[in-house]
Amino acid sequence: MINTGSYYLRNPDIVVVGTSAHYLFIHVDGSVGELHTPHSARWSHVMQLLMVPTRGDMLCQHLAGSPAIDMRDLLSLCQQGVILEAPTAVELETPSAGLH
């Protein structure tokens, strides 16, 4: 579940590569995560939005009514450290960002 009071940010240490059918998430250690999606343009919009700390309520507004984004996929990316979460935007702008 997206916490509307938290802030979210795409992890700047992870390289994100999108194609028409899936996204690859390349971690610093070389490991690769993959997300299959027929809606790559919508995911691209989400990844662009999360280039700066974004409040959960704003993220939910952007996702509202979008069948293209499965919230389970979004939460999985949070659990994998691709998307970082913190109570304040400032915490996401520090070197130890996203410890949640």
What's the rounded mean pLDDT across residues 12-19?
A: 92
In the 8-state DSSP scheme, what is residue 35? E
Asked if residue 88 has pLDDT above 60, the reply is yes
Q: What is the pLDDT of residues 30-54, one digit of tens each?
A: 999 999 888 888 888 899 999 999 9
| pTM for the whole structure | 0.86
Going from the N-terminus, what domains does the chain have, and what CATH number goes with each? Answer: 7-92 (3.90.930.60)
Contact status, residue 59 vs residue 75, Cβ threshold 8 Å: no
Asked if residue 100 has pLDDT above 50, the reply is no
Can you tell me the distance from the alpha carbon of 100 to that of 84, in angstroms, rounded to the nearest whole number? 7
Can you tell me the distance from the alpha carbon of 10 to that of 39, in angstroms, rounded to the nearest whole number? 18
Asked if residue 96 has pLDDT above 60, the reply is no
